[in-house]
Chain A
Amino acid sequence: MTKSYLSEENFATLHKAIDAYKDTQGPLMPVLHEAQHIFGAIPIEVQKVISERLNVPLAEIYGVVTFYSQFTLEPTGEFLISVCLGTACYVRGSQQIIEKVTELIGVDVGKTSTDGKFSLQATRCIGACGLAPVMTVNDDVYGRLTVAEVPGIVKKYQETH
């Protein structure tokens, strides 16, 4: 997987953020927010630096990162595909939709493709039950979907550069 987001520049920015917070009370949360913002994720390489500089055990940092949904261990892909598995979408077949997406892009739910192009997530109700089943790709919304329509949609993004 490309790890260009772990650039020296980004680490320099992280060090500045740590310096800004390290003598304040409870510096871990604000530093993690900064890290998520800087790198788009908080992978082990970043956690190690925070652990050493803040003197907080790695296990504690990992625990916080995996507890809060705002933090992620790997960056989201260029296109974030979200399939609603809320009740209305589910009864109208969104499970088959998400399975089709998985098959087409080769990425499990909650993961990112090795080329960094796609991330796939299952969401709870997004409040568009009238359009069930619903899938979003970044800011684009696709409603009243059928499994047959999925390949065309995915192809569109695969061809976008």
Chain B
Amino acid sequence: MNNVNLTINGAQYEVPGNLTVLEAAREVGIDIPTLCFLKDINEVGACRVCVVQVEGARALQASCVLPVREGMVINTNTSRVRNARKNTLELILANHNRECTTCVRSKNCELQSLTEELGVRDIAYTGAKRTPSYDDLSPSIVRDSSKCILCGRCVSACKNVQGIGILDFMNRGFETTVGPAFDYSMKDVPCIYCGQCMVVCPVGALSEKSAIHKVWELLDDPKKHVIVQSAPAVRAALGEEFDYPIGTNVTGKLATALRKLGFDKIFDTNWAADVTIMEEGTELLGRLQNGGVLPMITSCSPGWIRFIEFEFPELLPHLSSCKSPQNMFGALAKSYYAEKQGIDPKDIAVVSVMPCTSKKSEIIRPELEVNGIRDVDVSITTRELARMIKEARLDFNNLEDGTFDPFMGDYSGAGVIFGATGGVMEAAIRTVADVLTGEDLEQVDYTAVRGVEGIKEATVTIAGKEIKVAVAHSTANARKILEKVRAGEADYHFIEVMACPGGCVNGGGQPIQPASVRNVIDIRAERAKALYSEDASLSIRKSHKNPEIKKLYDEYLGKPNSHKAHELLHTHYYKREKFPLE
């Protein structure tokens, strides 16, 4: 593409000809405010906040969808432009539920920030407001249409990024709202609860169903032995809630914060990730050697599990029977740990801190319990943990680095990288390769499965045998792979699928970064770096080399996939009706 010459605010610039005016202005250091725009996800020019004045054009133009042209003369800062932007904001605010002080997104709201930045102090318009609908019936997502500004980001994230389409615009004109068909509750539609709609929402219209009060209740109960587990991706993003740069690993402060909140044991889902590798790796070897159903597909991501149950139920036999690390942890805390410590499992409560909103729905799946005891009692997101830390008045930034408790808290580098797309695959290959060769291989980095490309394929040769693998993240990419599997065109042995783009580091429960950040930084890649660097820094990087894992099998489970392991750590899936309602 050739360069073009243009004038912005009186100065001349040469920019690549394939840019929009918004991008060109950013390139030369001129900031244009945006609201509905989110790079790669929502580029529709709907809100009109990014308008600029273009010489020769009658009306102001939306710069986010306006391509640059040779000789264009643009003004981004005239009183006409400033007034138009303010006017637009005032109109949006006039139909917005402005209970900002108690809103879950207060201080992290793009509408609130813009209102402040553009200097809107009075709202000239008063009048009717759209009839609101409020839905908190699902286990994961709360939808409050009184806050919705109709930007369409959630619609695009659900339909285009995830390939599902639960949310869409309905009705028209003043009565337009965004929601599921027929204004159904999110609990009655084939939503996978991935939460990608929430992390792109600029305001408080979509948020997680908070379970903080349940955690405080457990911590207040002297009869309960409360164990917390924290997922790999949490440590890669929690720092963002306390102004650390994106991609800062805060493992040490996380451990200290959990201890100060009053949990009785501070354990780590990374440990359970190592258990998962033992079980899933053994299952894969079994399928390879005994002619089992191939390709085998991972089962850690509950959003992904809901997706395949709704959309491809005939392919359920391809799923690994392994519970997710969250639930393996819960089942072992209330059996292995309880037995070794002499605590009645009924007195143990397991709280999980997850980068995920779908985990809230996973813990209430009826089959995820052992002998009538639920694997996990409460699941909160990274965001909810940050709120608890703030509410407890902990000075997070000045906490000393702590460590997780032994017994179920030591982990290998393989467990850490579960939080990034390709991580489970790489962790599994590390163990499977050692088992097949009977050696302790030095090679542990399988970089072909790393990175943010939507579908990654690799062939790994182990002990003279070729193993074909694929990694997909986002359910839209998963759909592409599943269609190949269904058509018999996929000769993979093993597939990793994560429901969220980038894997758990970009889960629906992670800290929310505004478009101003997401437009210029790939948060998936930055957060993943925090995990890969922790992996590289550890001396033990293979799950089966973790001494605590060896102990678990020697003293309790016997062998991976043993009868006891099956009872505690494996599960089953079922077809879900997409349209259950009459």
Contact = CB atoms under 8 A, between A and B. Distances in A.
Interface stretch (B119-127, B164-172, B289-297, B554-562): B164-172
A67 B181 CA distance: 13
Nearest to B179: A59
B159 interface: yes
Contacts of B189: 58-59
A61 interface: yes
A57 B168 contact: yes
B579 A66 contact: no
B166 A63 contact: no
Interface string A31-60: 000000000000010011001100011111
B170 A57 contact: no
A66 B159 contact: no
Interface in A48-85: 48, 51-52, 56-63, 66-67
Contact of A62 (B159, B168, B172, B579): B168
B168 A63 contact: yes
Interface residues of A, number: 15
A60 B178 CA distance: 11
A160 to B, nearest CB: 33
A36 to B, nearest CB: 17
Given A48-B579, A57-B159, A59-B180, A67 B164 contact: no
Given A44-B182, A47-B181, A57-B164, A63 B169 contact: yes
A118 B164 CA distance: 38
Interface string B153-169: 00000010000111111
Among A59, A61, A62, A67, chain B packs the most CB atoms within 10 A around the CB of A59
B159 A60 contact: yes
A58 B159 contact: no
A59 B172 contact: no
Contacts of B170: 59, 62-63, 66-67
Interface of B: 159, 164-172, 179-182, 189, 578-579, 581
24 contacts: A44-B181, A44-B581, A47-B181, A51-B579, A56-B165, A57-B159, A57-B165, A57-B168, A57-B181, A58-B165, A58-B189, A59-B165, A59-B166, A59-B181, A60-B159, A61-B181, A62-B168, A62-B181, A63-B181, A66-B171, A66-B172, A67-B170, A67-B171, A67-B172
Given A44-B182, A62-B168, A63-B168, 5 more contacts: A56-B165, A57-B165, A59-B165, A59-B167, A60-B159
Q: Across chains A and B, which 6 residue pairs bring their CB atoms closest together, nearest first?
A: A57-B165, A59-B168, A62-B181, A58-B181, A63-B168, A59-B181
